[in-house]
């Protein structure tokens, strides 16, 4: 049975609309703490309210607190972590966590575009989907993921595109890395590795001619990849991967070919020689 941690940080998902004034504001009690979820999976859920802030009030200090709690949770053997967050700074927090935490444990961030008591509220539904993704085996080693509106996006490419539309979170160039429906979760991106060999130098160069020298394996970067993810899959440190390929600022791009350790292997990888 999966052991999951939900960390609440505030935002619209934790707010309620005043029926008289129409003002949406934070309440003393988080409405989702009292919500009852019917999970389609077997999991033990632990819930904490880390803070309850509108997302424009989230600062790097809060992001650091969140990171430290997540790292503690990983040491406590949680199988997945779900974070509820306001949408205005959700992508910034997601990117910060993705670039500062090295783990294979799924970290999922979600939120809501409508408060908990508005007609068509999406918060509880997004939370349920985030929990499902956190417990999914294919979410392992995918980095920080954003789950909103039946879509799964990577922290590296996702952005908020609209102030009120529930389909606001998009990855404009690459699209989502996964889709969700009532019964299934589909991941659309896979890590691809190829391995090449070359003949050894001739005897004229005073080197053996009866063997072959294996080049370092190469990865073709796909959407959703990050430096730490590829390094983890290949059994390398981030510093090794960065140094071997001259990567600057941890920036890699889809289609880019990276050198990795010879014979590196990863789960769900298609390999050619």
Catalytic residues: 12
Extract the tokens encoding 18.
């005043």
DSSP code, position 183: S
Angstrom distances, CA of residue 155 to CA of 45, 126, 217: 24, 16, 27
Extract the tokens encoding 226.
């990050």
| CA-closest candidate to residue 88, choices 168, 20, 23 | 168
Q: How many CA atoms lie within 13 A of 23 on its CB side?
A: 5
What are the residues facing 194 on neighbouring strands? 218
| CA-closest candidate to residue 269, choices 141, 175, 87 | 141
Q: Which residues contact 227 (CB under 8 A, 6 or more apart)?
A: 238, 241, 242, 247, 250, 252
Q: What is 127-151 written as a DSSP string?
A: HHHHHHHHT-GGGTTS-EEEEETTE
């Amino acid at each position: 049975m999966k052991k999951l941690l939900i960390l609440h940080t505030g935002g619209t998902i934790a707010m309620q609309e005043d029926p008289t004034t129409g003002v949406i504001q934070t309440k003393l009690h988080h409405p989702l703490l009292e919500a009852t979820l019917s999970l389609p999976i077997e999991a033990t859920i632990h819930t904490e309210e880390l803070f309850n802030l509108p997302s424009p009030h989230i600062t790097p200090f809060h992001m650091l607190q969140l990171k430290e709690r997540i790292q503690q949770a990983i040491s406590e053997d949680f199988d997945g972590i779900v974070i509820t967050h306001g949408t205005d700074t959700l992508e910034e927090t997601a990117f910060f966590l993705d670039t500062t935490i090295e783990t294979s444990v799924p970290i999922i961030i979600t939120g809501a575009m409508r408060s908990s008591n508005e007609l068509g509220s999406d918060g509880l539904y997004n939370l349920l989907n985030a929990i499902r993704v956190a417990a999914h085996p294919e979410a392992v080693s995918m980095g920080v993921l954003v789950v909103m509106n039946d879509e799964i996006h990577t922290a590296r490419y996702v952005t908020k595109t609209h102030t009120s539309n529930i389909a606001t979170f998009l990855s404009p160039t690459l699209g989502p890395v996964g889709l969700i429906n009532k019964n299934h979760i589909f991941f659309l991106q896979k890590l691809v590795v190829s391995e090449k060999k070359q003949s050894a130098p001739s005897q004229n160069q005073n080197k053996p001619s009866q063997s072959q020298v294996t080049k370092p394996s190469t990865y073709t970067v796909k959407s959703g990849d990050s430096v730490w993810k590829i390094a983890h899959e290949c059994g390398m440190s981030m510093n090794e991967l960065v140094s071997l390929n001259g990567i600057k600022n941890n920036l890699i791009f889809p289609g880019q070919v990276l050198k990795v350790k010879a014979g590196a292997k990863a789960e769900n990888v298609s390999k050619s020689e």
